[in-house]
Amino acid sequence: MNNPRESRPRICDYEGSNYRTEFWEGKGRDYEDRVERIALRRLLPDSGRRLLEVGAGFGRLTNEYRNFGQVVLLDYSLSQLRYAQQHLGASDRYLYVAADAYSLPFRPGSFDGATVIRVIHHISDTGAVFRQIRRVLVPGGTFILEFANKRHLKAMLRYTLRRQDWNPFDLKPVEFVELNYDFHPDYIAQMLEAAQFETQQRIPVSFFRLASLKNRLPTNLLAMLDGWLQHTGLLVTPSVFTQNVAVGSSPNNLSAPTIFVCPDCGGELAHDGNILVCRSCSRRWAIRDGIYDFKAPLDE
């Protein structure tokens, strides 16, 4: 049996990592968390039926999606999803899915909202991921994307002073560490348009992402100032949030009895206990303690 995953781009895997405790909790990033929530709240729609959170990790931002009836947390790491499950609980409101963003295991038009926050900087083929997200969104669905901005103020100053080699004004993404990319805002705009998204808003975020400032000034003050500056539209920050709307014609399966399909062939899935069996290619996918595992079929 052919393995379509062999041709997919490299994937950044946080399996088994302590991302929550080593990067976020107690690590001086309260400011970043606060300003990202400010931007996210501005861009989220007032209501929605089902939202897909790509790269949900341990569920840091999941409580912001309270306006949606159901939230699907998707991540490549089972260990991150297990913590999110422990934190958020098991209910019909949350679904936990282990899969990669290059081959989403959902039928077309299953969602009217999607977010990708602090994820796209690990993606080498942004166009492929954007097309996957567009496929699973209904027309008019909202896609909120955050990306690492290569044209931020510090990078421009360093390039001008010849303290870095890569050009922040060049549209090509820069891979500064393996599977860690910064993107030019215009490059992201082009990729979104090619994937049938219309960008409604772009918000600069994290104006004060400097340890010297965060260690000297109160987080509340920095977050308030950042919230004001987000209205300026000055895309010179290390992080940029965009609000995009799915355009063009595509199916609407928000009311379908199940959202899952085989990620390898798109075939319908049948339940066999804690296993999902594809009726087309016969691949079998596990459900592990309430987490739908589409990382690799049981047959391999």
DSSP 102-136: TS--B-TT-EEEEEE-S-GGG-S-HHHHHHHHHHH
Burial of 55 (0-12, 13-18, 19+ CB in 10 A): buried
Structural domains of the chain in order of their starting residue, each with its CATH number: 9-257 (3.40.50.150), 260-293 (no CATH)
Q: Which of 1-10, 124-133, 279-288 has the lowest mean pLDDT?
A: 1-10
Q: Is pLDDT at 11 greater than 90 in this prediction? A: no
Q: Which amino acid type is present at position 163?
A: R
- The span from the CA of 219 to the CA of 209, in Å, is 11
Nearest to 53 by CA among 90, 93, 26: 93
- What integer pLDDT is reported at residue 1 of this predicted model? 55
Question: What are 25's two structure tokens?
Answer: 């909790």
Q: What count of other Cβ atoms lies within 10 Å of the Cβ of residue 27?
A: 11
pLDDT tens for residues 216-241?
Answer: 999 999 999 999 999 999 999 999 99
Closest CA to 145 of 279, 225, 40: 40
Q: Please report the pLDDT score of residue 25 as a whole number.
A: 84
Beta strands in the chain (DSSP E): 48-54, 68-75, 94-98, 111-116, 137-148, 174-177, 180-182, 197-205, 239-246, 269-271, 275-278, 284-288, 291-293
Query: What pLDDT does residue 4 have?
Result: 63
pLDDT tens-digit readout, 22-56: 888 888 899 999 999 999 999 999 999 999 999 99
13 confidence band (pLDDT: 50, 70, 90) = confident
